[in-house]
Structure 1
């Protein structure tokens, strides 16, 4: 499935030739993780760019090593090959500081066999004449045109971009104007190796994200557009969030930041928990990130085919789903609103229901209670159980719901200091009896009423 109707440009090359730096330069944002460690960009990563009025989508790929036998690196090579198949134009990046290698030669031979338009970039021409001396060696690969470029500084990119755009299919002038993006965005979050990538692949029905038993193999957030029962969704598969104290080096630190940004971009998060491990402090921490940012949430209890069996063995005759649900509710009471879904990504069981649950949560996240109905609910709740502190009664004069995503209720009262957290929770529970808001937090803000609010 293509990410969009824009032309697709795949950036390929062996590890550490500067593909991610070029990718970030072309899209103007630090999207791909960039570090001087070979093999750091391990999945296809998509982002949009624009040149001379033509919009396109870039695909950054893991470095290709043609003779590699390591299983993970073999998967990376396979994904790069898929990216090349998807692309309208392929950009082949070579490092001028190291010269042409055996992998470059083998990849060049493979690219020549492809019918796709090809733009060859001799990268890392950063310091003037010294790197330019190696550019002729790139021509020895048999390409008629090579573009010397410094992705770091942007030198030479204009000519390369002209060539890339020149290969695009003719633009459809009759295409309707792009409408505002109202697609529901779902971030798949969780600790490393709980099955997030497997869950996304089960949803999509294709291996979009590398799946490996090595914890932390999804280092970047990968956006994937998907049509689900006629609705276009965007899935953000995030790298596993590790505890801050256990984040090793700049790569893992940047990964945590990326996952948090993915949560910020999402309408709803699917918090994946490994049922074999039960609820861990790490799960609570990740859930806390989503809760603090006011995101709708579904707790996805994954690997349930195995977890269910564990519960049955420990508690024969009990309902495994009920037992595990109670554990979730007790351990994550700050997310009592979150819906629960039980899945097995490897068998596909429960996966469709989990997506449907996420869509319900997203709808509740955007739900607004009419002002008149909201005030009636709160008036009935306060009349049924008035709140007094040292003989002084809390009076709610008026309520409004100024924003959604997350739903936020503002109460105008006689004295905000009188509002105890327990009474705020009581009011929330009363609201949820009529409007469940399942899957979404409900924020309640208390303000001192001005005279005009008191008149309502």
Structure 2
């Protein structure tokens, strides 16, 4: 069972390892008054008031050349930040904010990973330094004592609202048949989502009708396709916020957003008679921003199947209108007649495999060398941007990190070139691709 990841970061000797031990419930990490005891990342699984996650203890962040031990420790910590779902940024509440905290707070902000600010060593009301933490721009600090367990309730509440939401119906179902693949069906009202799921199940399990907006709750249903266990989620139709007045509908749409967040694959169902409406594109944007695998279903295809060349035209429209998910599968189907369901599920399983794909670092850097030779990065103020090194930091969706100099000056057109190149070179059609730019030297580059 995949657990979300929480990375504990901060400068040396602020109590990161003590916090790690407090969360894990055992003294797995060495703790000492001297700074710099932790060097390698240490991981532990946490059960915390109904929350389950993997926590990573990291080395203290310090400025240093990449070739030094301290520099390599810092790069390990940077990699942990990139791979995390949530970062706990720890400062010393008694010492307050020091100059060394500022550059690393900036590093965490740039990563885009959600941050919870911990003002540690605040036992006995020693929180004067906590107020200085507002200057870091990381939100409200939580006064905390890892040594004495003070502030655990506030930390639990912060994690509860920040961690990716688990499937409320999920259990650790790993077994001979494997864990079920979580698939959410989303789309505008009256696109035929419930009708399609009823056809998949072979029974009228969900209420359907000509009226838009019948479904309110996000419904979770177990199903099997070709022996593969699937957990299907039917969701309420998603309209533009400005057109939602009813409180119940607002709650239903919010429930649908939750279904997208804990799904692995999202099927965006379009009405083939009026496809690619503005709201359809907005929903695809949401799925891409949440980093879910994506398949587009053209429902009610039986009503337009007599139009020659329509499918080719719609696939071309998809490529033009949705370049951020270039190559996404577009599957014609009819939920009412049951046509195309098998093709849809083949596309769903394939999308999940692409979403989970990992590429070796050596293959990525061979590609990078060729891509930058063919189309070198531009020069800034007379100095050419250099990309030295690349690696994949996580999957689900594929997330790559580039290391080099002046990368923050790379134009968007060049990052699009790199993303499209990664998509084509490593067969990643239709899936969201994340690209982090880190201005740092390649640890293997001695030149």
Contact 1:399 1:410 in 2 (8 A): yes
Superposed displacement of residue 203, structure 1: 1.6
Q: Is 1:250 the equivalent of 2:250?
A: no
Q: Quick one: which of 401, 404, 409 aligns to 1:410? A: 401
Superposed displacement of residue 213, structure 1: 0.9
Matches within 5 A, 1:281-292: 281-292=278-289
Q: Quick one: which of 199, 202, 208 aligns to 1:202? A: 199
Q: Please report the RMSD computed on the Cα atoms of aligned residues, expressed in angstroms.
A: 1.8
Matches within 5 A, 1:193-342: 193-309=190-306, 312=307, 318-342=308-332
Superposed displacement of residue 349, structure 1: 1.1
Q: Is 1:396 the equivalent of 2:387?
A: yes
Matches within 5 A, 1:314-393: 318-390=308-380, 391-393=382-384
The change in CA–CA distance for 1:206 and 1:439 in structure 2 (over 3 A counts) is farther
Q: Secondary structure at the match of 2:371?
A: helix
Matches within 5 A, 1:37-116: none
Q: Is 1:431 the equivalent of 2:422?
A: yes
Q: Quick one: which of 165, 179, 192 aligns to 2:174? A: 179
Contact 2:187 2:280 in 1 (8 A): yes
The change in CA–CA distance for 1:307 and 1:332 in structure 2 (over 3 A counts) is farther
Q: Secondary structure at the match of 1:308?
A: coil
* TM-score, normalised via structure 1 length: 0.57
Superposed displacement of residue 278, structure 1: 2.4
Superposed displacement of residue 454, structure 1: 4.1
Superposed displacement of residue 327, structure 1: 2.1
Superposed displacement of residue 455, structure 1: 4.0
What CA distance in whole angstroms lies between the structure 2 residues aligned with 1:307 and 1:266?
A: 30
What CA distance in whole angstroms lies between the structure 2 residues aligned with 1:319 and 1:178?
A: 44
Q: Is 1:188 the equivalent of 2:185?
A: yes
Superposed displacement of residue 178, structure 1: 5.3
What CA distance in whole angstroms lies between the structure 1 residues aligned with 2:186 and 2:245?
A: 19
The structure having more radius of gyration, on CA atoms, is 1
Superposed displacement of residue 341, structure 1: 0.6
Contact 1:301 1:342 in 2 (8 A): yes
Matches within 5 A, 1:10-29: none
* TM-score, normalised via structure 2 length: 0.58
Name the residue aligned to 1:94: none
Contact 1:412 1:453 in 2 (8 A): no
* Unpaired runs of at least 5, structure 2: 1-171
* Unpaired runs of at least 5, structure 1: 1-176, 313-317
